Amino acid sequence: MTPQLRQAIRLLQLSAVELEAELASAVESNPLLDWTEPAAPEPDASGEPVHASSVTSASSSEDGAGPGGDGPNSDATPEPEWTMDDGETWYERVGPSDHDDDSPAAEQVADAETLLDHLLWQLHLSPLSLRDRSIGVAIIEAIDDDGYLREPLQAIADSLAPELSVGEDEVMTVLHQVQRFDPVGTGARSLGECLSLQLGTLPDDTPGKALALQIAVGPLERLPRIGVPGLAAELKLDPAQVETAVQLLRSLDPRPGAQMGAISTDTYVTPDVVIWRQHGLWRVALSEAMRPRISIHRGYEGMIRHASASDASYLRGHLQEARWLLKSLEARGDTLLKVARCLLKQQAAFLEFGDSALRPLTLREVANEVGLHESTVSRAIARKYARNPRGTVPLRAFFASGIDTGAGGEASSTAIQAMIRRLIEAENPRKPLSDARLAETLKATGVPVARRTVAKYREAMSIPSSQDRVRMA
């Protein structure tokens, strides 16, 4: 894994607030980087400033306002305006500052996402049976903050009794699924297994990969003691070959779970993408906060040609770092926009009608459509937010696991929860609907859900049972 690739992966998983801090640190440490002041926008015919933006669109069922509010062009007071590739204009609904005191509280405070949260979210999006999901929850709850599974598999199997009679082989099967989650390497039972899982995601033609795998599952523990020369002698290989493999191993993360633990809680939610509707089309663009505001200082760049050998070497090193950073920022924006376009295409009905219209969508489906690895999609949406007419929501809200409707289609778990909530809100308070009755009503609408599933969803929404609702009436 090259330094450039590691940097691109790290930047991709940063939130908007963390990215700002990262850029500030880079400008402070690299003399060839400088902040770029936003260019003064040219006023359009209406006198409003016009900026540039990358935009894509998806079809909508009608023209005009988005659900739950007026359309972007119907505001009485003009808002900051942007120019699309086709010359049309749109109004960004973020306003001059994302930190205004009168902005909604939900847009100011972001919940910290733990490793446990991140893994459970991926588990519930995976195409597993209820039995396997129960095993998966037990496995994930046994994973420590560094991402390692320290408990024996038999102990995990015993913890599921008496509700489930599970063998060690079943736990191992589900563990293999968990080990595919992001961060890659999570769920490993040893350092060698952790590094092997990460090596498995690299292309087969990665220099030193095959030998690195051999070292990870074999003499890895002896490496600090005997060094590269001793390992080369032991394996009867050229020291240069062993050095390449060892450098590859050193480029991997020995504590993948700590990525989540090191992430600080955002004080504010800064939208990463903006979604709006205009002329019957849903559109999406990166928010202004996601646009790189740093550039290479041309004055220093020109000094390289006239500097002494040592100074020129120093400046060239920083110039290369600056170019890598700018390229990584560009790749970050491209990846985020690519994923956002896919989500907009798949979940336009969710934007129109809310949770009840959220269709089943998994990381794997998005990854296949945009041509990225599942772990890359997971990093791209981690702690990223979309501003839309319904408010600011995490990109994770666009994903949901599916339940077979029995009529050749699927309904998302989020949509079913919304249906349950609506039924309960409309019930007679003196005769509340039991879980069994809710299940029957859903079945009559073409969504066959078991009573225990209704109970699980009701509890997840913190809605009391029918007996408790009677007492509260």
Kind and range of the H or E element at 318?
Answer: helix 309-346
List 274's β-bridge partners, or say none. 285, 387
Mean pLDDT, the chain, whole residue set: 77
Neighbours of 62 (CB within 10 A): 8
Neighbours of 429 (CB within 10 A): 9
Domains of the chain with bracketed CATH: 42-102+268-394 (no CATH), 115-250 (no CATH), 402-472 (1.10.10.60)
Write the pLDDT tens digit of every residue in 49-87.
333 344 555 544 333 333 333 333 333 323 333 333 333
How is residue 420 written in tokens?
A: 């349950």
pLDDT at site 64: 34
Write the pLDDT tens digit of every residue in 352-410.
877 777 788 888 889 999 998 888 888 888 888 898 887 888 898 888 765 544 544 45
CA–CA separation, 64 and 73 (whole Å): 8
The more confidently predicted of residues 109 and 304 is 304
The contacts of residue 194 (CB under 8 Å, 6+ apart) are: 147, 148, 185, 188, 252, 254, 256
Write the pLDDT tens digit of every residue in 134-167.
899 899 989 988 899 988 999 999 888 888 899 9
218-242: b (≥16 Cβ within 10 Å) or e: ebbeebeeeebeebbeebeeeeeeb
Could you tell me if 412 and 240 are in contact, meaning their C-beta atoms sit under 8 angstroms apart? no
